[in-house]
């Protein structure tokens, strides 16, 4: 009897077919790994991404090396809201990312005086702060398509007081969830 290299049929209905040696691993790798990589890219580009906080500008609410999830979807449907913590590209150097809080919206006039932020002549309630806002800033009307952002640690923050209102297209997303360290797990406010 002569045998050939053709795959053999199962001898019984319960016996699985025998795979051909060496040909299936590449296909299985492509069927498993490629979709996983593509899914991760889509999520990272359009839905959410993990990032790490650098610096002290958002203390005491966010700290250096704290890990957060930035969701990227909601601002496709609505503008950022006052009080949102956002990740943005620095207007003069888009390779640098910052995390700040939205303070004033397009068309609003923002001013800093008497240790407080004022929006359209009214003091802004900022329960997330632990110290007054030092210094003075003359009234500034936020242009359309921009927001005015500040760090929560106003004495140590590079923010709109230095670089002006931020174009909406520079906002990457909303800081949504803190996941590291374990004692900081929760939604970002």
CA distance 102 to 43: 24
Strand 109-113 relative to strand 67-71, pairing:
unpaired
Please tell me which residue in 12, 74, 89, 100 is annotated as part of the active site. 100
Query: What does the block give as tokens for 156?
Result: 């140590």
d(CA 150, CA 188): 16
Structure tokens at 36: 């996983």
Catalytic residue, candidates 12, 23, 57, 178: 57
The SS3 call for residue 151 is coil
Q: Cα–Cα–Cα angle for 130, 128, 121, nearest 5°?
A: 95
Q: How far apart are CA 127 and CA 110, in angstroms?
A: 18
Does residue 57 carry a catalytic annotation?
A: yes
Which residues are identified as catalytic?
57, 100
């Amino acid at each position: 009897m002569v045998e050939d290299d053709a795959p053999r049929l199962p001898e019984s209905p319960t016996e699985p077919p025998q795979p051909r040696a060496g040909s299936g691993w590449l296909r299985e790798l492509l069927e498993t790994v490629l979709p996983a990589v593509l899914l991760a890219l889509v999520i990272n580009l359009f839905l959410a991404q993990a990032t790490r906080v650098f610096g002290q500008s958002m203390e005491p609410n966010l700290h250096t090396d704290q890990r957060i999830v930035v969701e990227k979807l909601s601002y496709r449907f609505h503008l950022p809201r006052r009080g949102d913590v956002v990740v943005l590209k620095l207007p003069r150097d888009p390779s640098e990312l910052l995390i700040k809080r939205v303070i004033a919206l397009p068309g609003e006039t923002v001013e800093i005086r008497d240790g407080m932020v004022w929006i359209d002549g009214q003091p802004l309630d900022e329960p997330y702060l632990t110290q007054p806002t030092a210094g003075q800033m003359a009234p500034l009307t936020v242009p359309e398509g921009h927001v005015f952002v500040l760090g929560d640690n106003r004495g140590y923050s590079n923010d709109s007081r230095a670089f002006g209102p931020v174009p909406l297209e520079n906002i990457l997303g909303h800081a949504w969830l803190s996941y590291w360290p374990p004692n900081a797990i929760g939604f970002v406010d």
